[in-house]
């Protein structure tokens, strides 16, 4: 470290100074390939339930309760602890299905959800039988593999989303704050098999710079995990705003990070999007959105298969990854004790005043603060000209250079990270020759 001549210049290394070996990357269990056939079998069941109950699975209608019981029955048989959570909206009873997989850190919960209700106009197979079925098959695969995640896994199928996120809002509102803080991430999957699909990810980091801004801290990491999966299979993705249209809304409103995928609803696919993903430009991503024709015929198998695998990949990657090991400190110094730093080690210094020393930098002012009079680590820094003096310029580093060298440090192989804090001040008469 060298510092040259300055008029009215003070240089402080405000430490700790540290060399660290990098962290070990997190590892995770290998994600499964979710069976498209199995996911579509769930969609067939949801279609049959709607057909037998007036053509829909809407809030307060028998088709919704039958759908909830279908999901709950499979999860009960697979070893989940399940709850059918009733709530009332608009004079009718709706239901959330909540399923907890045993094990994992109860204070570090990954939650995965999507809505199970349809509109009254149709059976709601893409919206949102697709997300419900893909999440369900992922949960059942967790059971088949006897997954032992490091995080606690919780799955949810929401009621009355189509009436304004009523089920998920009820769930979040009725969680004690101490329980909310345990949920470290929520993944939402709503419409993942649109017949003219796009591949959208909720824009957790606001990299698109549009709409409502980024999600709560941690949302960017959820987005990155999903993005990495699609990149691995050669499928480009684009962001979609947290616009409040689905069940992530109540979660991000209380600061829980969120992410998820979406293949498009009534929006029109552009020419650029058709070039990117295929399909038909100038037509809706889902022309049967909220219509009676949202049946099992209203599904793109490729999109459904890719998204089901993306859900499983995210669950396995996030829930089973071990936290990275903390960095190993190779060397650090707070300068609170003398550790053998040597001033002018090469006998090359030319400065006659203000040379490097370990000490407490006294506050100085000349046209503004020049030496702050504070340290980062306690009472001492490595500083040039620690004394203030009676006049501007007293004890400043003037007329040459000063150097200082640390004790010998044995470095391990591999990449190392160096971190330190420093502060440099100089007067208005300083030049480009004044530098650290």
Handedness of CA 104, 109, 110, 115 (dihedral sign): positive
Last residue of a domain, one of 264, 295, 320: 320
pLDDT digits (tens, 9 = 90+) for 212-236: 889 999 999 999 999 999 999 999 9
| pLDDT > 80? residue 284 | yes
Q: What is the rounded distance in angstroms from the CA atom of residue 399 to the CA atom of residue 151?
A: 61
In a shared domain, residues 119 and 238 = yes
The better pLDDT of the pair 337, 107 is held by 107
Last residue of a domain, one of 282, 300, 320: 320
State the pLDDT at residue 352. 81
Q: What is the rounded distance in angstroms from the CA atom of residue 80 to the CA atom of residue 109?
A: 15
Percent of the chain at pLDDT > 90 equals 65
Q: Active-site residue among 137, 141, 161, 223?
A: 161
Average pLDDT, the chain: 89
State the pLDDT at residue 433. 72
| pLDDT > 90? residue 26 | no
Q: Is 434 a member of any domain?
A: no
Q: Is 31 a member of any domain?
A: no
Q: What is the rounded distance in angstroms from the CA atom of residue 279 to the CA atom of residue 158?
A: 30
The kind and range of the H/E element at 179 are helix 177-180
Q: What is the rounded distance in angstroms from the CA atom of residue 148 to the CA atom of residue 130?
A: 26
Is residue 161 among the annotated active site residues?
yes
| pLDDT > 50? residue 177 | yes
Instruction: Please name which of 343, 430, 349, 354 lies closest in space to residue 386, comparing C-alpha atoms.
Output: 354
Q: What is the rounded distance in angstroms from the CA atom of residue 224 to the CA atom of residue 321?
A: 15
Instruction: Please name which of 119, 117, 79 lies closest in space to residue 95, comparing C-alpha atoms.
Output: 117
pLDDT digits (tens, 9 = 90+) for 152-173: 999 999 999 999 999 999 999 9
Q: Is 14 a member of any domain?
A: no
Beta strands 356-359 and 258-262 are unpaired
State the pLDDT at residue 274. 98
**In whole angstroms, how far apart are CA 162 and each of 116, 255, 267?**
10, 23, 17
In a shared domain, residues 226 and 182 = yes
For residue 7, name the pLDDT band (cuts at 50, 70, 90): very low
In a shared domain, residues 288 and 373 = no
pLDDT digits (tens, 9 = 90+) for 294-331: 999 999 999 999 999 999 999 999 999 865 555 677 77
State the pLDDT at residue 326. 54
Range of the domain at 368: 331-410+417-428
Instruction: Return the exposure string of 128-165: e unless at least 16 CB atoms fall within 10 Å of the residue's CB, then b.
Output: bbbbbbbbbbbbbbbeeeebebbbbbbbbbbbbbbbeb
State the pLDDT at residue 17. 57
Contact 262, 126 (CB under 8 A): no
Beta strand ranges found along 200-251 (DSSP E): 200-202, 238-240
pTM given for the model? 0.71
Q: Which alpha helices (H) appear in 253-350, and where do they start and end?
A: 271-277, 301-320
State the pLDDT at residue 91. 98
Among 43-52, 257-266, 277-286, 340-349, the minimum mean pLDDT is found in 340-349
In a shared domain, residues 210 and 66 = yes
pLDDT digits (tens, 9 = 90+) for 371-417: 777 776 778 888 888 888 777 677 787 778 888 898 888 888 777 77
In a shared domain, residues 259 and 406 = no
Q: What is the number of alpha carbons within 13 Å of residue 265 lying toward its C-beta?
A: 14
| pLDDT > 80? residue 256 | yes
In a shared domain, residues 402 and 295 = no
Q: Is 326 a member of any domain?
A: no
Beta strand ranges found along 263-395 (DSSP E): 328-333, 342-343, 356-359, 364-365, 369-371, 381-384
Q: Which alpha helices (H) appear in 174-218, and where do they start and end?
A: 177-180
State the pLDDT at residue 281. 98
Question: Residues 167-191: what's their mean pLDDT?
Answer: 97
Contact 314, 145 (CB under 8 A): no
Contact 149, 104 (CB under 8 A): yes
pLDDT digits (tens, 9 = 90+) for 43-53: 999 999 999 99
Specify the number of domains making up the chain: 2
């Amino acid at each position: 470290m060298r510092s040259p001549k300055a008029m009215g210049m003070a240089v402080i290394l405000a430490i700790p100074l540290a060399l660290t070996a990098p962290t070990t990357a997190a590892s995770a269990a290998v994600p499964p390939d979710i069976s498209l056939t199995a996911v579509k079998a769930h969609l067939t069941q949801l279609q049959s339930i709607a057909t037998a109950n007036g053509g829909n699975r809407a809030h307060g209608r028998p088709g919704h309760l039958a759908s909830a019981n279908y999901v709950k029955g499979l999860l009960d048989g697979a070893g989940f602890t399940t709850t059918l959570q009733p709530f009332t909206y608009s004079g009718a009873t709706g239901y959330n299905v909540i399923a907890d997989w045993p094990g994992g850190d109860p204070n570090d919960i990954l939650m995965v959800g999507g809505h199970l209700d349809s509109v009254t106009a149709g059976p709601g197979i893409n919206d949102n039988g697709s997300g419900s079925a893909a999440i369900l098959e992922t949960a059942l695969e967790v059971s088949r593999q006897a997954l032992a995640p490091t995080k606690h896994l919780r799955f949810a199928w929401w009621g009355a989303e189509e009436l304004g996120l009523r089920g998920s809002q009820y769930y979040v509102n009725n969680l004690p704050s101490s329980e909310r803080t345990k949920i470290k991430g929520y993944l939402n999957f709503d419409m993942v098999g649109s017949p003219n699909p796009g591949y959208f990810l909720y824009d957790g980091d606001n990299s698109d710079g549009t709409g409502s801004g980024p999600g709560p801290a941690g949302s960017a990491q959820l987005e990155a995990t999903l993005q990495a999966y699609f990149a691995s299979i050669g499928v480009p993705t684009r962001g979609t705003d947290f616009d409040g249209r689905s069940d992530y809304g109540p979660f991000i409103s209380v600061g829980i990070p969120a992410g998820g995928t979406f293949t498009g609803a009534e929006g029109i696919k552009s020419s650029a999007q058709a070039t990117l993903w295929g399909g038909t430009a100038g037509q809706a991503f889902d022309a049967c959105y909220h219509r009676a024709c949202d049946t099992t015929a209203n599904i793109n198998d490729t999109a459904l298969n890719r998204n089901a695998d993306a859900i499983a990949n995210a669950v396995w990657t996030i829930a089973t990854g071990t936290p990275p090991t903390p960095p190993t400190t190779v060397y650090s110094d707070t300068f609170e004790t003398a550790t053998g730093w040597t001033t002018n080690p090469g006998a090359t210094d030319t400065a006659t005043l203000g040379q490097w020393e370990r000490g407490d930098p006294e506050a100085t002012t000349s046209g503004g603060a020049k030496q702050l009079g504070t340290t980062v680590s306690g009472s001492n820094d490595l500083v040039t000209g620690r004394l203030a003096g009676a006049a501007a310029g007293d004890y400043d580093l003037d007329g040459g250079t000063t150097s200082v060298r640390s004790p010998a440090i044995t470095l391990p192989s591999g990449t190392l990270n160096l971190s330190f804090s420093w502060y440099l001040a100089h007067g208005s008469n300083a030049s480009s020759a004044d530098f650290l």
